[in-house]
Amino acid sequence: MRNDEVRNDGTDRLVPLSNLKDFKVAKDNPDVRGWRIVGADGESLGMVKDLIVDPQEMKARYLSVVADRKFFNTDDDPYMLVPIGAAALDKKGRKIFVSHIDSKTIGNYPVYPGGPIPEDYEYSVREAFNHSHNQNLMGNPTSNPSENQKVNVPPPTTPRRISNDFYENDHYNENQFYGSNRTVEQPDTTTTYVAHDTTTAPTTQRPLTDTSNHDSTPKNVEDSIATIERLEQLRAKGSLTDEEFNTLKKRALDI
């Protein structure tokens, strides 16, 4: 599934940030699109493709994550929506840590079907996180789940509606997300290049010609991450301006 299947027709309650021309990440917050998602066991699980926002409330609700295909045994990119307050920033490493998911349990996470975001899907996501949180409190870590710990959310007999207080918990607290900062230890040899500027891209950008021979249409998550890391290296060396970096980053993310 491609992320651009999610379209904003003016009536959707939640829409991708990349579809909103008049919205952008606040100046003091990092634009985390393209950052790695790291699970509770330190394994890289995928990449942030977009932010899902509520235009009426002007709040970010979810991280739109394209997960690594190997966890789902599929040839298509599996997408997941992760409640923004359930994640924590590693600003130095440019990674995002999600403590309720790891490489062994991600395959049980509700996969986003594409198109307008179903309210039943949001309930499934919240129930998956609540289940994981309760298992951790009982001393059953998600990194070693038993069969009876798997999340099996039965389909509702009637469509559920999002209640007025649905987002009134820490899992949807965007201030908690942007205020967080922790160091993520990742068991791999990937070099992380730290960019000098973590602010969002300008509101308007001019088209640029890519002369660096980068593949602007990566085939999968790992290709996208590798492309962005190469761009970060070039920016750190002064070979790319911030504007060029942000434009090429969006091409790598296909947004």
Per-residue HEC secondary structure of 166-228 comes to: CCCCHHHCHHHHHCCCCCCCCCCCCCCCCCCCCCCCCCCCCCCCCCCCCCCCCCCHHHHHHHH
Rounded alpha-carbon distances, angstroms, from residue 102 to 39, 105, 164, 172, 196: 4, 5, 31, 20, 30
Question: Six-digit token pair at 70?
Answer: 């190997």
Hey, what domains does the chain have and what are their CATH numbers? Answer: 1-145+163-188 (3.90.50.10), 206-255 (no CATH)
Cβ 229 vs Cβ 248: under 8 Å? no
Strands 15-16 and 87-90: unpaired
pLDDT (tens, 9 = 90+) of the chain, 255 residues, equals 444 444 445 558 899 999 988 888 888 899 999 999 999 999 999 999 999 999 989 899 999 999 999 999 888 899 999 999 999 999 888 999 998 899 999 998 999 988 899 999 999 998 887 776 555 544 554 444 444 444 444 455 567 888 889 999 889 999 999 998 877 665 543 433 333 333 333 333 333 333 344 444 445 777 777 787 777 777 777 766 777 677 777 777 776
